[in-house]
Structure formats: structure tokens, C-alpha cells
Structure 1
């Protein structure tokens, strides 16, 4: 079917120029390893990524993809392969470096901010992968993330909502220390206690808990912590993240990385990021 006009989620030429080389290199590497044998590629990588972004932005089930995209099984197959091969993580890191350089920062961050978000899950998520966040009274999953001081994603770990912030913080700090060895400072809220601070010290990261002023009433911006709260706000522009719809937690992490790739690439090309409230 011929598309009459592009969807708002489609990649512009400028954004594809940023993302395309990585996906093309991935396909070339697979063919060199003889993982795709017997026939040339049938599907354009840009159109495949457009389809995946369509799902992420609109929140539709894979089976409901419009017919002017490739078959949903094909699109999901590419999504799963890119997640498994670390392509989304690689793209997120490359684009983050470009944004930091454009902002006059060092390409490698030296500080991060930690936080967690509990979200409800859809009916297709196995009960064994869910839990209850007693503090927020939410049954579902929890997204533990670490961002740099610009709010750009450094690490994400999706768990059952019953997993404590402490456990999540330890895991996320370990991921950040491995991938970003220059990080030496972290800020977090009061949900991160002694064990996270001690683990950070073991990794060479000074973890500082930023407390809310007990005398403050109503909404008040909390230093440092507002950065990661804003990141969660950015992510919620993607309706697929309004709940956790993914059967597997690692697919949830991929959807979060994909949303950040979408946001960062728009930031680099100075394109507006339309959210689902006004589209």
C-alpha cells in the first residue's frame, strides 16, 4: 500500500542521517556473519524503524500496525533483534554524546541522578513479572533509571514494582559505573538509603541524598532531583510507556531507550516533539 502522507512519528531525513549508519552497520555485520543467508534484504531499515516508533509513540499493539508498514511480525522481529544485539543502547549512547558536545559539555558525563517510577501493567504481562509498590499503592512494574545532568538516559532496569529503590539503585549504579567510568557523583531521593551509598562508595561514586524541605508546602522544585523527574515526563510523551505493555522486562527497557532515541534525535535536529495531548 502506498502511503499518502507521513505519520508524525516518522523519521525526517536529518534524523535518519543520525541513526541510519548504525542500523546499516548492524545489517552489514549480520550478513558478514552469514546470519541472513539466501536472499537480499526485503525491507528498508528506515521504514522498519518508522513502524517501531509508531508503536512507541501511539501505544498500539503490534498486531494493529497500519498495513502500509511491513507485516507486524517482521517489525517486531527487527525490534527484538535490535534489543538483543544492543543496538538501542548503542544509539542512545552515540546520540547522548552528540547532545552533550552540542551543549558544550564533555562527551562523557561525570555525574548522574537516580530515581524510580512505578507503573501499572497490561493484561498480557505475566503475574510473575509484577509486584506491588506498597508506598505508591501501584501493582505493576518499576522503572529504575539513571540520567546525566542534562536528563539524558545512562541506564535503565525494569523490575517488578515490589523491588525496592535500594536494590534498583545498586543495580543501576553498577551499570552506570561499567558503561560510564568517569561518573563520580550521584544524586538521589530519600528512598535510596545506606546500602546504595555504600555501594556507590565501593564503585568510586559519591551518592548524595537530596531531601525535600520538611517545611515546604505544595509543589516545590527540588535541586538536582528535578532533572530525572523531567526525564520521566519526557518519556510519558510516548503512549506505549503510559503503562507497561511488554511481556518481558528487557523489552520494556528497549521501549524506554527507543523513546530517548526519539527525543534526543529531535533535539539534535531542532525538531519539535509533539506529544499525544495535542496531536
Structure 2
């Protein structure tokens, strides 16, 4: 493929150094397992990742990828494989550990924060995968997030908007307990009911609701919960997440992982994340 001018979403050399070992290991594993039989792969992994980040950052449909990237079907094929084989979760875990250590923290968290975001969906999302959030009066999906106390992603679950925070919170705690056994504390808002608290106790996690002062008017930073609210704001720097465009919920979860991978890699290398609204 001929050289091309870069896009603002492209990986810098420094960020690529962080990501490349995981993708190179994935390709080597597939070759070793004879999953890529025949001619050597013709597509550069860095350019494939740049194309995927371009979609996540700009929000364009896959078919609208600029022609100086690999064919859109090839790029989407890599995206789907990496989602199915847990590559994005692996990258999230690697970068989160590096960033926590750079902040002087232990690589593995001991506490987390849970929250959700209701988002409208596009026309290509099946009605069976949507729902109504009665409280916010939004038809669409919910992103249920579990983050550490720095606001870095631990897990994400995408459901219909009608799924309660309590029902999804039980699943989030189960995932977090399985992947992060050091976590013993979780902060949540008042939407998470006794079921979540009891399930957390069963897993060895103390679930503590943090409520807004009933007498407070206007904006007020809520202790502990502000970190995950900020994380949701970070995700909105990626235009693909301004609405849920993914046909399948697991692809939507992968887009959240991609946004966090981009954000953490930029923080590790000291690069800014420009806001798409001003570009």
C-alpha cells in the first residue's frame, strides 16, 4: 500500500510501541495454530489498528473508511476477530496496569466504581436489542461500566436500556471479582439496590451506595462517583460512542474498550486527546 498522510487518530510511534507486542503475539499465535494458512499476511497491523481507531474516533460507518486504509471489509474482519478473541480486553488490561504503576499505584486495583450511561441507538440496531429507560425517557441501550478509582475501565456490559442497574450490577461485580480478585470495595449510586449489595457481600466485595445530598441544588461533585462520571465524559471524545451504532452489543463493548485503549495510551505517552466537537 502506498504511503499516505496521517490522520489525527493515527497511532504515534510511542503509542504503537505500547500496543504492538499484543497484536504481534496475536498474529504469531494464529500462524502457529495454522489459522492463517497460505500466503503471508499483506496488511500491516499498525495500519489496521489506525483504521479501527479512525472509525471509533470519527464515528464514520465502516463502509465510509477512506480508501488509503485497507478495504473496509478487511478492517472490520480484524476488528471482529480481535473482539471475539479478547484482544481489546487484553490491551485494556495491559495499559491500565502500566498507567496505574506510572501513577504510583499497584498494578491491580483493590476498589472500583460502578455506573451506567443510557444512549440512543441508530436505525441498524435491532428492536430486540433496545429498550426504554423509563427514568431518562430514552429508547436505546445502556453501557454499564466498572472502573477503578482512577477512572480506568475494568469491565463494560452493554444491554437494552430497559435493563436495571441492579440486574447489570450483579453481572459487573461477578466479572470484576473473577478478573480482579484484589477488589474488595465498590462504590455505586442509589440506583443499585440491595440485591447488588448482597451479591457483592457473597463475592467478598463491600458495595457502598454514595447518594447525593437531597438538599443540594445545581451541580455538585459527588465523592467517589465523580471518577466514573469523568470516565463517561472521556468516552464521549470518541464520536462513535455519541450514539450506539453497533448492530451487536458485544461490538459496542469493543468500541468502549477501544476508546479507553486510545485514552490510556495517550496518557502514558503524554499526548493530548483533542475534542471532536472542535475538529
Task: Work out whether residues 119 and 138 of structure 2, in 8 Å CA contact, stay in contact via their aligned partners in 1.
Answer: yes
Secondary structure at the aligned position of 1:277 is classed as helix
Question: What is the DSSP-based 3-state SS (H/G/I as helix, E as strand, rest coil) of the residue aligned with 1:60?
Answer: coil
- Residues 27-68 of structure 1, C-alpha deviations (whole Å, 9 max, x = no match): 000000000001100100000000000000000000000000
Q: CA deviation at 1:275?
A: 1.4
Aligned-partner SS, 2:139: strand
Cα pair 2:133 2:139 within 8 Å, conserved: yes
Q: Secondary structure at the match of 1:227?
A: helix
1:5 is displaced (CA, Å) by 2.1
**Uncovered stretches (5+) of structure 2, i.e. residues with no partner:** none
Matched, 1:79 2:84: no
- DSSP 3-state at the match of 2:159: strand
Cα deviation, 1:194-250, whole Å, max 9, x if unaligned, reads 000000000000000001001111000000000000000000000000000000000
CA distance in 2, matches of 1:3, 1:160: 42
Q: Does 1:177 align with 2:161?
A: no
Residues 4 and 68 in structure 2, CA contact (< 8 A), matched pair in contact too = no
Deviation per residue, 1:104-163 (Å, 9 max, x gap): 000000000000000000000000000000000000000001000000000100000000
* Partner residue, 2:63: 63
Give the aligned partner of residue 264 of structure 1.
264
2:5 aligns with 5
* Partner residue, 1:200: 200
Q: Distance in 1 between matches of 2:83 and 2:125?
A: 18
Q: Secondary structure at the match of 1:92?
A: helix
RMSD between superposed Cα atoms in Å: 0.7
TM-score by length of 1: 0.99
Question: What is the aligned partner in structure 1 of residue 223 from structure 2?
Answer: 223
Separation in structure 2 between the aligned mates of residue 187 and residue 163 of structure 1, nearest angstrom: 20
C-alpha distance in 2 between matches for 1:75 and 1:140: 27
Residue 165 of structure 1 is matched in structure 2 by 165
Q: What SS does the corresponding residue of 2:277 show, helix, strand or coil?
A: coil
Question: What's the offset of the Cα at 1:98?
Answer: 0.2
Q: Name the SS for the 1:274 alignment partner.
A: coil
* CA distance 1:211–1:56, change in 2 (3 Å): same
* 2: CA distance, partners of 1:4 / 1:136: 44
Instruction: Give me the whole-angstrom Cα distance separating, in 2, the residues matched to 1:111 and 1:57.
Output: 29
Q: 2:141, 2:214 → 1: CA distance?
A: 29
Question: C-alpha separation between the residues in 2 aligned to 1:145 and 1:4?
Answer: 37
Partner of 2:122: 122
Q: CA deviation at 1:277?
A: 1.7
Structure 1's unaligned 5+ residue stretches are none
Aligned length: 279
Any idea what SS the aligned residue of 2:276 has?
A: coil
Q: Find the residue that maps to 1:222 and give its secondary structure.
A: coil
Cα distance in 1 between the residues matched to 2:171 and 2:136 = 21
1:143 aligns to what SS in structure 2? strand
